[in-house]
Amino acid sequence: MSITTDPAPMAGLLAPDDLPAAQQPTWPDAAALQSAVATLATYPPLVFAGECDVLKTRMAAAARGEAFVLQGGDCAETFAGASADNIKNRVKTILQMAAVLTYGASVPVVKVGRMAGQYAKPRSSDVETRDGVTLPAYRGDMVNDYDFSAPSREPDPQRLVRGYHASSATLNLVRAFTTGGFADLRYVHDWNKGFVSNAANARYEKIARDIDKAMKFMAACGADFEAMKTTEFFAAHEALLLDYERPLVRTDSRTGELYSTSAHFLWVGERTRDLAGAHIDFVSRIRNPIGVKVSAGADVDDLLRMIDALDPTREPGRLTFITRMGAGRIREALPSIVEKVTASGAQVTWVCDPMHGNTFSSASGYKTRDFEDVVDEVRGFFEVHQGLGTVPGGIHVELTGNDVTECIGGSEKILDADLANNYESLCDPRLNHQQSLELAFLVAEMLSRD
Ligand SMILES: O=C[C@H](O)[C@H](O)COP(=O)(O)O
Ligand SMILES: C=C(OP(=O)(O)O)C(=O)O
Ligand SMILES: [Mn+2]
């Protein structure tokens, strides 16, 4: 593994001032911003270039149908939420989902957390009005505070530095969990402990028993379990806040190439994927595996130009299209996009985000999603790819390991009236632990039929 510590040539190269950058905060104090950016530029990398290259090979395998990508985590991480319990529950949930998928569909699962950097949010509106008072919108903990007061909502560049430290602490714990024995497949039962018992847990227990049995059988046959003691786990977030991302780019000492060291995988969101904009320009300059969100309204010629800009050499695993079309539109909108992209010879990894096209405001006023729509969009995704003979490479889900009530439906039958019970998200509604496991069981069935 290479250590990438050389500061990137920042001037000019990574910060062309002339490109429009959507969804950036208006920092009130230019000198304070300069100082925060300069501080970030001196910090050590959070991830290494060699790890990003490994993830690229995993994404390439998923594009060929030899692996399946599971990306999951909060819509918006918060500094206060970066606690040991929250992080552990999220990691356990992803490990459980991966076990269900691997066991159910006999396919390796590439585990990627929306974690350790998912602190900035694009918003539909720059402002929020409550009881006649209008303030800047909350843009994530790396920009401002959710509390509804003028000082809290003012963007504070010191939050970029806090974001780095929170990401570093989170990633440290994730690495400890996934390489320090906790992710050992022989402890597959333990990942279920501490969660309230429910139908999905019970179903998981059954799979865990089967895995246990298989492991004991293999142990009796003299199998070597060394490789099962740890698991690969990658970090990802939206490359939104350029004042955070640019100073964390480093030169890989092996190759002289530039890498983002803020995460293994970065994606550009639906609201910032302007071909002529600063975000696409930024990710075109780094060598990490990258993603772009694609809505039902995406123009396919735009996407083809994007492929040329981001993956001119057609490098396997380099580019992922994360489609987020909505359950009602995916079956009509996705086929022509996949067809034309495939016909162009490009080899992108197709991942389904069944969350962002299915958000609505409930009668009680909460932003929510119906579990049925989430499942239906994934089903549509599989149907389209099966119909075209292309590869459904993974899913990208907003989830938490906690017992929240943010999305309606699922076998617990969460209703609109239940949303108030435990709605914690500061941005979009997440699947709770049980809904996440249920989704994994359903996707395992779709995958094994594929
Ligand atoms: O997570 C995605 C976006 O940031 C989010 O959906 C925007 O939400 P808004 O429409 O409430 O601004
Ligand atoms: C902002 C997000 O999604 P999108 O860009 O697809 O709207 C997100 O993933 O939280
Ligand atoms: Mn979101």
CB-based contact 266:283 (threshold 8 Å): yes
Residue 3 CA, ligand 3 centroid: distance in Å:
32
Q: How far apart are the first and last CA of the chain?
A: 35
The band of 282, judged by pLDDT with boundaries at 50, 70 and 90, is: very high
Residue 290 CA, ligand 1 centroid: distance in Å:
21
pLDDT attached to residue 200: 87
- Directed axis angle between helix 330-343 and helix 371-388, to 10°? 40
pLDDT attached to residue 218: 85
For 80-111, what is each residue's pLDDT tens digit? 999 999 999 999 999 999 999 999 999 999 99
Residues with CB under 6 A from ligand 2: 75, 122, 238, 269-271, 293, 324, 356
DSSP for 263-312 reads -SEEEE-TTT--TTSHHHHHHHT--S-EEEEE-TT--HHHHHHHHHHH-T
Q: Is pLDDT at 321 greater than 60 in this prediction?
A: yes
With a CB cutoff of 8 Å and minimum separation 6, the contacts of 242 are 15, 21, 24, 278, 279, 282
Q: In whole angstroms, what is the distance from residue 25 CA to residue 133 CA? A: 20
Q: Which of 77, 114, 121 should be mutated for ligand 1, with most atoms under 8 A from CB?
A: 121
pLDDT attached to residue 11: 40
Residue 382 CA, ligand 3 centroid: distance in Å:
22
Q: Is pLDDT at 420 greater than 70 in this prediction?
A: yes
CB-based contact 113:90 (threshold 8 Å): yes
pTM given for the model: 0.96
Ligand 1 atom closest to Cα of residue 121? 4
Residue 184 CA, ligand 3 centroid: distance in Å:
31
Ligand nearest to the CA of 240: 2
With a CB cutoff of 8 Å and minimum separation 6, the contacts of 238 are 118, 120, 122, 266, 267, 268, 269
pLDDT attached to residue 184: 87
Tell which residue, 339, 218, 248, 252, has the closest CA to residue 49.
252
For 343-399, what is each residue's pLDDT tens digit? 999 999 999 999 999 999 999 999 999 999 999 999 999 999 999 999 999 999 999
pLDDT attached to residue 223: 87
Mean pLDDT of all residues in 292-318: 98
Mean pLDDT of all residues in 177-186: 89
Ligand 1 atom closest to Cα of residue 76? 1
Q: Whose CA is nearest to atom 10 of ligand 2?
A: 75
Q: Whose CA is nearest to atom 6 of ligand 1?
A: 428
Q: Is pLDDT at 46 greater than 50 in this prediction?
A: yes
Q: In whole angstroms, what is the distance from residue 183 CA to residue 188 CA? A: 8
pLDDT attached to residue 304: 98
Ligand nearest to the CA of 295: 2
What letter does residue 419 receive in the DSSP assignment? G
Q: What element of type H or E holds 166?
A: helix 158-179
Lay out the sheet containing 258-260: strands in order across. 6-7, 249-251, 258-260
| Phi then psi dihedrals of residue 320, to 5 deg | -120, 135
What letter does residue 368 receive in the DSSP assignment? E
pLDDT attached to residue 185: 84
Q: Which of 115, 124, 143, 238 should be mutated for ligand 2, with most atoms under 8 A from CB?
A: 238
pLDDT attached to residue 433: 95
Q: Is pLDDT at 174 greater than 90 in this prediction?
A: yes
Mean pLDDT of all residues in 272-301: 98
Q: What is the complex's ipTM, to 2 decimals?
A: 0.98
Q: Worst-scoring range by mean pLDDT, 18-22, 170-174, 285-289, 320-324?
A: 18-22
DSSP for 99-133 reads HHHHHHH---EEEEEE-SS------S-SEEEETTE
Cα 117 from chain centroid (whole Å): 10
Q: In whole angstroms, what is the distance from residue 40 CA to residue 242 CA? A: 12
Q: Whose CA is nearest to atom 10 of ligand 1?
A: 124
pLDDT attached to residue 14: 62
pLDDT attached to residue 186: 83
Residue 20 CA, ligand 3 centroid: distance in Å:
23
Ligand nearest to the CA of 269: 2
Residue ranges of alpha helices (H) inside 311-370 are: 330-343
pLDDT attached to residue 407: 98
Q: What is the mean pLDDT of the chain?
A: 94
Three-state SS for 155? coil
243: buried, middle or exposed (CB in 10 Å: 19+, 13-18, 0-12)? Answer: buried
pLDDT attached to residue 8: 55
Q: Which of 114, 124, 407 should be mutated for ligand 1, with most atoms under 8 A from CB?
A: 124
Ligand 1 atom closest to Cα of residue 269? 2
pLDDT attached to residue 285: 97
CB-based contact 379:440 (threshold 8 Å): no
The band of 263, judged by pLDDT with boundaries at 50, 70 and 90, is: very high
Residue 74 CA, ligand 3 centroid: distance in Å:
8
243 vs 450, more confident: 243
pLDDT attached to residue 5: 52
- Strands 68-73 and 234-238 come out as unpaired
Domain architecture of the chain: domains with CATH: 3-183+230-448 (3.20.20.70)
Residues with CB under 6 A from ligand 1: 75, 121-124, 427-428
Q: Whose CA is nearest to atom 7 of ligand 2?
A: 270
The band of 1, judged by pLDDT with boundaries at 50, 70 and 90, is: very low
Tell which residue, 241, 200, 282, 210, has the closest CA to residue 8.
282
Q: Which residues are annotated as a binding site for Mn(2+)?
A: 75, 356, 398, 428
Q: Is pLDDT at 9 greater than 60 in this prediction?
A: no
Residue 131 CA, ligand 1 centroid: distance in Å:
21
Share of the chain above pLDDT 90, in %: 85
User: If you compute the radius of gyration of the chain from its CA atoms, what whole number of angstroms results?
Assistant: 21
pLDDT attached to residue 12: 43
Mean pLDDT of all residues in 329-338: 98
